Amino acid sequence: MFEQQFINFMEKFDSVPFTIKTQDHTYQIGKGEPTFSVFFHKVPSMSDLLTSTSIALGEAYMNGDIEIEGDLYNALNMFLGQLGKFSTDSKKLKRLIFPSLSKKTQKEEVSSHYDLGNDFYKLWLDDTLSYSCGYFAKDSDTLYDAQCNKVDRILEKLYLKEGMTLCDIGCGWGFLLIEAAKKYHIHGVGITLSQEQKKKFEERIHEEHLENLLEVHLLDYRDLPKSKRKFDRIVSVGMLEHVGRGNYEEFMSCVKSVLKPGGLFLLHYISALQEHPGDAWIKKYIFPGGVIPSLREIIQIAGDMRFYTIDVESLRRHYNKTLLEWNKNFQAHRAEVVEMFDEKFARMWELYLCACAATFQNGIIDLSQILFTNDVNNDLPMTRWY
């Protein structure tokens, strides 16, 4: 009876045929030749599935109650194209889906992800330690090539000149600012909420002998205006997703207040077609408080604040490939991850990487790179200069 209720629930995910196997039975979902099989050692409860299909299935995979027969990414790529059929009880999950937007809460959320340890991230990121979408200019590009391409492309879009000041909001481990300082001789300031990132960035500044050009601070973007500093250029890569809907206006206002007249601001972030509060499993286990803004809401807010949009570019397929490369590296070092944490963590992380790759592949999410200016800037080139 209980198992049949579960199968009845799963039958709505019939866009792509697949097989469900339990201890005693095999069921086919959808018509045609099955594209993958899922073995359930333990069937999730209907209550859990209805509260959050994402959490119920995600936890089942993390706990080893689900085994995918075949490639995890391929299975997720087939299945996650039907995310609209997932159940989410927003009332029961209110605190998870709509957390506080306070500085204290957001610092804790950022730390929970980015302070897992630099040794962990070194295992599966490339040597640049770039934890954002790469740019694969050629099919033969490695992950390292793609991350260097991405940074070069951003710096070219910012139209940098020697002596300019550049602020990186959510600077990560600092590769972008290091490249900007070395290639353009700018003065850069990076801000982050991660102790581990700040520590590593400071080490890199020292190694590259860039102390006279770069600095990094543990600082919330909302405190930038208090610094009374002004910048010729501002960049933010993969940080807006942590700001939270309700704070986008404040974020853009803070940028506006520290950007010099005629300055350029490049915003690189995961975007969505529509406004959505976010996936419950991702919020519980990977990015607490994370929300993906739509392209239209950011463009509208920017316009209301008299930011002029110079350029918009989608890098969605580049992020799909970036995530697959990360997962390839992760699998190569999986045993080390298990030793650092445990098997449950390793299954959680591979599910995260493969699920995100699948959602980019399916167009559920995108990567938008937008170039703004706070003036008409009629002296800039009339065509793309990069």
Measured in degrees and rounded to the nearest 5, phi and psi for residue 70 equal 120, -155
Amino acid in position 198: K
CB 345 within 8 A of CB 337: yes
Cα separation, 315 vs 149, in Å, equals 12
CB 231 within 8 A of CB 284: no
CB 171 within 8 A of CB 216: yes
Computed over its alpha carbons, how large is the radius of gyration of the chain? 22
Q: Which two tokens stand for residue 288?
A: 């607490």
Tell me if residue 354 is catalytic: no
Cα separation, 336 vs 172, in Å, equals 23
Helix (H, G, I), strand (E, B), or coil: what is residue 294? strand
The secondary structure element, H or E, covering residue 140 is none
Cα separation, 88 vs 310, in Å, equals 38
Residues 6+ positions from 98 with CB-CB distance below 8 Å: 90, 277
Of the candidates 148, 171, 254, 356, the residue annotated as catalytic is 356
In b/e form, how buried is each residue of 243-282, taking b as 16+ CB within 10 angstroms? bbbebbeebbebbbebbeeebbbbbbbbbbeeeebbbbbb
Handedness of CA 114, 120, 121, 124 (dihedral sign): negative
What residues are annotated to the active site? 356
